[in-house]
A and B are shown apart, each in its own frame.
Chain A
Amino acid sequence: MQQGVQINLISEERLSRMTSMEKIHLILDDVREGTIVILEKGLDPDEQSKLIEMTMLEILPDGFNGIEIETYPSHEETPGFLRRLLGQRSPARLTVIGPANQLRMIRKDKDVISAWVSTR
């Protein structure tokens, strides 16, 4: 049997049709199975907060031990005065999520994420 790692690339369009909890369950269900998930558009802060919380509740001894997640930095590290005044934030960019025991980030800068993936 061939060894390999499945990668699911989820389009922005598909993500925009999903609720926050649907996105989180989609991510965690895939990642628990050893799949690397790439989101064309990242999660918003509230979804990130819930993802951390839900991830913690899924961790088991000698089983799933959490996620590795990386996203490009925001285009705008320091939001301008008007954006801050209006409470607008830059949209989250492409995000890579995988099982913590399989996905290891090597390097990240503003436009490149370099990761190493191992089979289980």
Chain B
Amino acid sequence: MSIFVHAKKRVSRFLSAFFRKRRSRIGIYGPPNAGKTTLANRIAKDWTGETVGPVSEIPHETRRALRKQDITITGTNGSTITIDIVDTPGVTTKIDYKEFLEYGVGKDEAILRAREATEGVAEAMHWLREDIDGVIYMLDSTEDPFAQVNIMMIGIIESRKLPVIIAANKIDLPDASPQQIRNAFPQHPVIPISCTAGSNIEELYEKMVFHFG
């Protein structure tokens, strides 16, 4: 290889490393069964054609943080962001394997699920402290947003100075009250959505491009 080609490659590598913007890792956080994996799947499906993980009505179906890399989202004005989506296990302060028995899961399987869920929550907290650049905090609009775990999590996210968008999910359900979520967290943008019906997802993408870009 000529000395010029070699030098050109080295300069090119240096410049690309210097100017390349690191992809942001956006964590989807929230309590169990808020629809985090459904949202992660929708984002991944809409922009890459692939999904992230399985969904189910059983709480703590996601028991490991799952990452989908290189998702490029384009806003209506042509701006783009390239992110990694990290779908995290639902955050809680208590897990009892007996909860899983109510869904027809056998005792051994329930104990295993509970153990994996506890490890998953611990891992999600670790990710938040070390490896996350922005957060979509997912709430079920039919539930009380003032639950202590939500107050704590938003406080933790704010203390790390991470940009956050609150997604008020399940607005297709009759008891949904996204306004209550706005009242609970007036300091953050709240986007009412329905992941299963696909309602208002475009507004969420616009906000992501603006907020995480």
Contact = CB atoms under 8 A, between A and B. Distances in A.
A and B associate: yes
Interface of A: 44-46, 48-50, 52-53, 55-57, 59, 61, 65-71, 73, 77-79, 87, 89, 100-101, 105, 108
Interface in B25-63: none
A50 B125 CA distance: 8
A67 B93 contact: yes
B90 to A, nearest CB: 12
A89 B159 contact: yes
B126 A52 contact: no
Contact of A66 (B95, B119, B125): B95
A52 B114 contact: no
A45 B159 CA distance: 6
Interface in B129-169: 129, 146, 148, 151-152, 155-156, 158-161
Contact residues on B (Cβ < 8 Å of other chain), bracket: 20 to 34
A109 to B, nearest CB: 10
Query: Which of B93, B115, B122 has the most chain A CB within a 10 Å cutoff?
Result: B93
A52 B149 CA distance: 9
A59 B114 CA distance: 9
Contact of B93 (A44, A57, A66, A79): A66
Contacts of B94: 55, 59, 65-68, 100
B93 A49 contact: no
Nearest to B119: A56
B122 A89 contact: no
Contact of A45 (B119, B122, B158): B158
A104 to B, nearest CB: 11
A53 B156 CA distance: 13
B96 A52 contact: no
A54 to B, nearest CB: 8
A108 to B, nearest CB: 7
Given A46-B129, A61-B111, A78-B186, 7 more contacts: A49-B156, A52-B91, A69-B152, A73-B151, A77-B187, A78-B187, A105-B148
Interface string B154-191: 01101111000000000000000000000000110000
B208 interface: no
B2 to A, nearest CB: 53
B146 A108 contact: yes
B69 interface: no
In the A-B complex, the 8 residue pairs with the smallest Cβ-Cβ separation, listed nearest first, are A66-B94, A45-B159, A100-B94, A56-B118, A56-B122, A53-B125, A65-B96, A45-B156
A21 B156 CA distance: 17
Contacts of B114: 59, 61
B148 A70 contact: yes
